[in-house]
A = this chain, B = another copy of it.
Amino acid sequence: MSGASDPLSVGVLGYGFMGRAHANALARLPMFFPDAPQTERAVLVGRDGDAVETAASRLGFSATATDWREVVDEVDVFYNLGPNHVHADPSIAALQADTHVLCEKPLARTLGEAAAMRDAARDAGAVAGCGFNYRYVPAIRLAKRYVEDGRIGDVRQFRGQYLQDWLADPDSPWSWRLDEGLAGSGVLGDLGAHTIDLARFLVGDSAGAIERVSGHLRTFVEERPAPDGEGTRPVTVDDAYTAQAEFETGAVGTFEGSRYARGHENDHRIEIHGSAGSLSFSLERLNELRYAGADDRGYERILVTGEDDPYGEAWWPPGHTLGWEHAVVHENYEFLRSIAGDGAFRPSFADGYAVQRVLEAIERADERGEWVAVDEISGEGVAAGNREE
């Protein structure tokens, strides 16, 4: 561990898409957020020694490792960006060493794992964050500000749809993402987790917790051509899900996710209706928020690039748009600041667990064909068993 004035040494597990996104975020902070704690990209961890060497060189890491066990207690901060099945053990080990952890979403494969991770975070003298980066899109934060400022009044309805298109063709080949064992989850876990997190973030303080849900999971195409061209392989995750929700205040919600929505590549759409106004957002136009207030006749488009907008001052003059990656930069900024500060980073592991509880409730509701109360769902009893698998 380093002294107070040294840069925070960061160990990162994973060097794919998310590894690049976070390495980029760390690299950009000094220039744009000079008050962020200084960091050192210390160790990049991956199982394939050669590949991780190459990636480390490109992403600016000083060293590499092939076993996370060697790393989690040697660094100040551990980024767990690996696949879902390696979320729990390394994160818990790091937290037990009081190493700060940022773990990608969904928090874990199972609710049991998630509960164990939440508990480890609670017991650790370290910050534990869950990587729901869309909370850090400026337009989403502005939406949150509008809700908090009463500009939509009492929240009545939340509608979240995360739509992608890459599986629409039934002849497109099988991939590991379609295997539950390898991918950990399908659309509900992958896309739905983001939607539930935004629902909690945006209206959770106003409408209260999600109390009960219904659910519907579907696999439209049960088997797909094997990638090697020989025969087919089974699809064991959901291709799409839909859900209904009721919040504490009686506000209602609907959630959907799909990989079959042609015309939508990566479209996370959020709509909120309240007594005094509505908000609308689409991830494919992430610089924009649309707002219809009580005195408006329709939605007004807000280009969320102003100086007073969330993170607006850090970047470019008004009207100069940001991209997807900037949300990750903001997320890193807040996470690191939280380490240096009060440690109260959100979304926390408790948030990650709470999201997962809703996902689990949706799945059980689908199985049972009935609404399920979220607080009936618990990861406690199942934790041990699940983690053994």
Contact = CB atoms under 8 A, between A and B. Distances in A.
Contact of A262 (B277, B306, B323, B369): B277
A252 interface: yes
B260 A21 contact: no
Given A244-B216, A318-B266, A273 B256 contact: no
Interface residues of A, number: 88
Contacts of A306: 297
Secondary structure of the A side of the interface?
mixed
B300 A297 contact: yes
A100 B54 CA distance: 31
Contacts of A316: 17, 20-21, 324-325
A321 B23 contact: no
Nearest to A159: B256
Interface string A290-319: 101110111111110110000000011111
A261 interface: yes
Nearest to A317: B17
Q: How many subunits of this chain does the assembly comprise?
A: 4
Interface string A186-208: 00000000000000000000000
B319 A325 contact: no
A110 interface: no
Contact of A59 (B31, B275, B290): B31
Contact of A218 (B252, B267, B293): B252
Nearest to A372: B369
A110 B258 CA distance: 35
A17 B307 CA distance: 14
Given A164-B319, A240-B252, A263-B290, 5 more contacts: A20-B31, A34-B58, A263-B296, A263-B299, A298-B300
20 contacts: A20-B316, A24-B28, A34-B58, A156-B240, A157-B261, A164-B319, A169-B276, A169-B294, A214-B244, A244-B244, A262-B273, A262-B293, A262-B294, A284-B319, A292-B300, A297-B301, A297-B302, A300-B300, A315-B325, A370-B371
